[in-house]
Amino acid sequence: MHILHVASEVFPFSRSGGLGDVLGALPAEQARLGAEVTVLSPWYASLQGQPQAIWRGEVDGVGPAWLGEVRQEGVRYLFLGLEDFQRPGLYHPDDVWRFCRFGRAPLPVLEASGSLPDVLHGHDWQAGLVVAHAHLRGLNTVFSVHNLQYQGRWNLQEAAPWTGLPEWTFGPEGVEFFFDLNLMKAGLNFADRVTTVSPTYAQEITTRRYGEGLEGLMVRLTHEGRLSGILNGLDQERWNPRTDPEIVPFSQPTDKTGATAALRQEFGLDDAPILATVSRLADQKGMDLLIEALPELTRDWNVVVLGSGDPLLEASLTGWAQHPRVTFEHGMNEPLAHRIYAGADAFAMPSRFEPCGLSQLIAMRYGTLPVVRETGGLVDTVPHDLGFRFADATPEALAAACQDAYATFQDREEWQARAERAMSLDFSWEGPAREYLALYEALRA
């Protein structure tokens, strides 16, 4: 079975967050399990090197294009070179236009190069148009929603010619959404099966609170048996406290003292326990709740934050960093992230919604106990008797959960027992990869 994953980013070539991480791990695991796996993504100007070109030509409605190839870990990575992506960075304000052009190109290019797949698996709105075109060609299709909030919308009257789709697809049962083109909806409506990255999120998006205006469609997909949730895994080699070159390695929570001491020394922290977060600074992630809770949190905890995003949240954290128990590091620094996950005692994720989340998985892998809001993948991955969960998206609820964590931290035997169980949890990609393979096989039956 030949599987083609299509996504806007793939680690280690391009990455802005969890989507890139998934595309860096899931295909490799599927290949290890015996599938023929290809990943296709845009070639961004900011990427280093140049893949070996295996095709060059013109794509109708798009213009000049080339296809490059890299092979590693049993996976064939294809990169589509288009003029529209030859600028610094990954994402830009005109991305709906750019990914319409990207969405039209893969199938003609793959057909010309003789490598159409048995199953096309598109990821998030940037691949929605590819899924629609694949459906119209009669290919088996799966579409994964990694975050429903981002949908790829533009005025339909202006954008319709960009898509290359027939006119009949421009209604509410196709790609139209309140007079806009909606590329997320294109993937949802035209895929044979739709998945989300956790079972709880698949349920949540059928409600008005989490459905982002598409809850009616999600209810229909559920009733048709087309919507399901498959929990993300974690790359357990990349995130391995026993072999991690960025930290003082350890195999048991009682051995974390070296990593914790190193983090404490790096930031000049006192001997209070360390509560950390590594995150995009956004309302979705509840970072405003964390900031509002800081007066309470700093009574018991050193608080370490690594991230970037909303300028107002960045400015607020920069101000708070004058406090002796608050550390704010701007940006997404992966070596530092490893040191924070390893050295912290607890990890805060006060997300308003969380389709899956990888940070809580990484934290537990390093024996760092999570404090999480009860939503999405956080519900599916953090057991009641291991981490510290709270229901309401308020600073008060977060602070109360952190107080519970601090009280438990005082019982070193109990805390170490929880941390040991956290480190033993299996969040490898093998289980999810097998679930996806079974889903693909069902489409081919």
Closest CA to 269 of 213, 216, 327: 327
- Dump pLDDT digits (tens) for 58-113: 999 999 999 999 999 899 999 999 999 999 999 999 999 999 999 999 999 999 88
- Say how far apart CA 181 and CA 176 lie, in whole Å: 5
Average confidence (pLDDT) over 171-199: 97
Q: Which residues contact 192 (CB under 8 A, 6 or more apart)?
A: 135, 140, 141, 142, 226, 443
Instruction: Answer yes or no: are the C-beta atoms of 96 and 183 closer than 8 Å.
Output: yes
Tell me the pLDDT band of 356, cut-offs 50, 70 and 90: very high
Q: Which residues contact 378 (CB under 8 A, 6 or more apart)?
A: 349, 351, 354, 357, 360, 370, 372, 389
- Dump pLDDT digits (tens) for 313-336: 999 999 999 999 999 999 989 999
Pseudo-torsion of CA 383, 29, 146, 152, nearest 10°? 170
Q: Which residues contact 18 (CB under 8 A, 6 or more apart)?
A: 146, 232, 356, 357, 358
**Predicted local confidence at residue 115, as pLDDT:** 82
- Dump pLDDT digits (tens) for 196-212: 999 999 999 999 999 99
Residue 358 CA: distances (Å) to CA of 17, 246, 364: 10, 19, 10
**Predicted local confidence at residue 444, as pLDDT:** 87
- Say how far apart CA 120 and CA 137 lie, in whole Å: 11
Q: Which residues contact 397 (CB under 8 A, 6 or more apart)?
A: 373, 390, 391
* Placement of tokens 């009641």 in the chain: 384
Rounded to 10°, the helix 106-113/128-136 angle is: 60
Tell me the pLDDT band of 16, cut-offs 50, 70 and 90: confident
Domain ranges of the chain: 2-233+429-444, 253-424
pLDDT at 127 over 90: yes
- Say how far apart CA 401 and CA 171 lie, in whole Å: 47
For residue 160, the one-letter residue type is A
Equal CATH topology for 2-233+429-444 and 253-424: yes
**Predicted local confidence at residue 323, as pLDDT:** 97
Bridge partners of residue 412, in order along the sequence: none
- Dump pLDDT digits (tens) for 255-268: 999 999 999 999 99
Q: Please state the φ and ψ torsions of residue 430, each to the nearest 5 degrees.
A: -60, -45
Task: Given CATH 3.40.50.2000, say whether it is the number of domain 253-424.
Answer: yes
**Predicted local confidence at residue 46, as pLDDT:** 87
CB neighbours of residue 382 within 10 Å = 25
Q: Measure the N-to-C terminal CA separation of the chain; round to a whole number of Å.
A: 12
| Mean pLDDT for all residues in the chain | 96
Q: For residue 338, give the H/E element and its range.
A: helix 334-343
- Say how far apart CA 388 and CA 64 lie, in whole Å: 53
DSSP state string for 262-312: HHHHHHT--SS-EEEEEEEESGGGTHHHHHHHHHHHHHH-EEEEEEEE-HH
For residue 18, the one-letter residue type is G
- Say how far apart CA 106 and CA 117 lie, in whole Å: 11
Q: HSE on the CB side for 118, CA within 13 Å?
A: 14
Tell me the pLDDT band of 114, cut-offs 50, 70 and 90: confident
What is the distance of C-alpha 4 from the center of its chain? 19
Indicate the DSSP class of residue 41: E
pTM of the model: 0.94
Q: For residue 327, give the H/E element and its range.
A: strand 326-330
**Predicted local confidence at residue 217, as pLDDT:** 98
CATH fold of the domain at 2-233+429-444: Rossmann fold (3.40.50)
